[in-house]
Structure 1
Amino acid sequence: MDPAGPREERRRSKKGCTSLEAQPHDLQRDGPSSRHFRPAQVLKYLGVDPGGRRFGLALGDDGNGLVIPVGIHPYRGIDETAAWLKTEAQKRGVTKIILGLPTSEDGEETPACRRTRALAEALADRGSNVALQPEFLSTHGARTRARDIGRPRSAPVDDLAAQIILEDYLAALGARSGPC
């Protein structure tokens, strides 16, 4: 033991340690006064519930798994929608666009899957990173959420459906990667 005492010994040993702040390229603070650190490479996702008249959007990341609905936009054909989604993804710093693939109860593809696959292809042709997430009854789940949060029954729920699609994708992603 150091004759100066245990406090002085601890102070000296801390000087030799590498602090988290010394490696800003590896870690970032959550906020200016936060003591919590998170990985700097957080991947952002844009969840999309494509529909015939409109599509819902949700934004999420794999850092904290939080997914928030961010809007509902009119569907204006494959090309125009793909161009708009690519621009929106770039503005929001999105790494990957997740499109809900409307399957039947037994997992079989429905007629609406053709349009979703065409949209995915148009996005990929524009250089976007795209994935398809099979979804069944996301709109039903979205209506339940809308009721729970007090949204009027007549209000569209496409954004909440996109939220469910992206939550399912991130949950499956976590299950594939396993525990830390």
Structure 2
Amino acid sequence: MIKTKEEIKLIREGGVILAEIMKKISVMIYPGMNTGELEKKANKIMQAIGARPAFKNFVMPNGEKFPTALCTSINHEIVHAPAIPSRILESGDIVGIDVGMEYPYNATRNPRNKYSRGGGYYTDMAQTFLVGDVKPEIKKLVEVTEQSLYLGLEQVKPGNTLNDIGKAIQGYVEKNGFSVVRELVGHGVGYAVHEAPQVPHYAITNKSIKNIILEPGMVLAIEPMVNVGSWKIKEAVDGFTFETEDDSLSAHFEHTIAVTEKGCEIITKFQSGQKNKEKYLGIDWGEKRIGLAIGERGSNMAIPFDVVGDINSLMKVIKNENINRLIIGNPIKMSGEKNTTKEFEIFIKKLKSILDIPMEFVDERLTSKEADALIGDKRTKAPRDSIAAMLILQQYLDRIS
């Protein structure tokens, strides 16, 4: 259905908010985090800004009401995995976060959406995130899926068709050795969270009844789902989640977009700024375990990342995560004297001989006790060593902010 400029203005406002919610959730994704906490965060923000979770209590085709605001699909799960019952994210996982929202909800602003009791307009978006240290081939799946979405969006312009979008997505995905899910597709959005037309992410015939010509005022949710193996799917035992039929990994990216006179406007543009910021790795060294945390200049937030067992594993993290600076906990006695061991000094000397990036040292006297306190009051389920690394890095971020 075609939306007016006034309606698209309100949809745009909702899209900006939804992208910000996704951004706030994204910084919580690390090994040890649980999906229930992500769900709490999303609900809390939506309630505070006068929005309604579009997925929560949505009646599914089987008659069941969907239980959560977020879909949190892990590894071989394609889409629609509820965030509750809560599950722990582990290093090496990928997790697709899908979130929809009605905004403004029960407000008096005009034009009201006459198709919804709450009067608001709907937006929908999804991103797949890496959890901790992920294998290069898995990272490729995520990167290809995201790029396929943007190649599809390049085809969004008046006069083009849905087939132009599908061909662009499928061609790129298959060229990279992956497959596009066929049985789940994109959709119109705005008046409802799901509305006509269906948007295939694969080629259809130009003469197909599904091959709609794009017009200004259309608002669509385009969301390629890409599998490592077969494109076929199966329904999980919970009655909500769709999984890959062969249990291979799957990634998912989605934007709400508007067709304009000039082409495509991304309504839910997700501006993480990750590629443009200096990236730091906090290190809590131990003879048997090395705790790691990640942060960025300007974010002022350190996030537990992983625990590795040796310097070779550490080097892989530094390379895969494009780290620009190391922030290392410096062993110091409570009296202020140095407390470095021979093994620690060898570790630092080896790092300096291998790497050509800056290293900073931070007083770590109290980080282990603080990490124990955080774990003790159940504020986190991340490993103790990565929590200590987070506290080391947070000291540095606070100092430079």
TM range, smaller chain: 0.5 to 0.7
Residue 120 of structure 1 corresponds to 348
Asked which structure has the greater RCO (Cα within 8 Å, sep 6+), the reply is 1
Q: How many residues align?
A: 135
1:59 partner SS: strand
Q: Deviations over 1:11-58 (max 9, x none)?
A: xxxxxxxxxxxxxxxxxxxx9634978697311111110012211111
Task: Please report how far the alpha carbon of residue 164 of structure 1 lies from its aligned counterpart in structure 2 after TM superposition.
Answer: 0.2
Task: Please report how far the alpha carbon of residue 150 of structure 1 lies from its aligned counterpart in structure 2 after TM superposition.
Answer: 5.3
What is the TM-score when the length of structure 1 is the normalising length?
A: 0.64
Say yes or no: does 1:89 pair with 2:318: yes
- Structure 1 letter corresponding to 2:400: L
CA distance in 1, matches of 2:390, 2:355: 24
Provide the aligned C-alpha RMSD in A. 2.7
1:46 partner SS: strand
Residue 73 of structure 1 corresponds to 308
Residue 147 of structure 1 corresponds to 376
Residue 327 of structure 2 corresponds to 98
CA contact (8 A) 1:57 1:70 kept: yes
CA contact (8 A) 1:101 1:116 kept: no
CA distance in 2, matches of 1:49, 1:37: 26
CA distance in 2, matches of 1:172, 1:144: 22
1:145 partner SS: helix
Task: Please report how far the alpha carbon of residue 139 of structure 1 lies from its aligned counterpart in structure 2 after TM superposition.
Answer: 0.5
Q: 1:38 to 1:73 in 2, by over 3 A?
A: closer
Q: 1:150 to 1:124 in 2, by over 3 A?
A: same
Taking only the aligned residue pairs, the percentage that are identical comes to: 25
Q: 1:35 to 1:123 in 2, by over 3 A?
A: closer
What is the TM-score when the length of structure 2 is the normalising length?
A: 0.31
Task: Please report how far the alpha carbon of residue 144 of structure 1 lies from its aligned counterpart in structure 2 after TM superposition.
Answer: 0.7
CA distance in 2, matches of 1:49, 1:96: 14
Task: Please report how far the alpha carbon of residue 123 of structure 1 lies from its aligned counterpart in structure 2 after TM superposition.
Answer: 1.3
CA distance in 1, matches of 2:271, 2:355: 35
- Structure 1 letter corresponding to 2:385: D
Residue 285 of structure 2 corresponds to 50
Q: 1:46 to 1:37 in 2, by over 3 A?
A: closer
Residue 168 of structure 1 corresponds to 395
1:107 aligned to 306, 328, 336, which one?
A: 336
Structure 1's unaligned 5+ residue stretches are: 1-30, 175-180
CA distance in 1, matches of 2:327, 2:367: 14
Q: Going by fraction, where is helix more abundant, 1 or 2?
A: 1
- Structure 2 letter corresponding to 1:85: L
Task: Please report how far the alpha carbon of residue 157 of structure 1 lies from its aligned counterpart in structure 2 after TM superposition.
Answer: 0.7
1:52 partner SS: coil
2:276 partner SS: coil
Structure 2's unaligned 5+ residue stretches are: 1-254, 256-265
CA contact (8 A) 2:308 2:314 kept: no
- Structure 2 letter corresponding to 1:116: F
Q: Deviations over 1:103-124 (max 9, x none)?
A: 1113211143x43333222112
CA distance in 2, matches of 1:69, 1:36: 22
Residue 8 of structure 2 corresponds to none
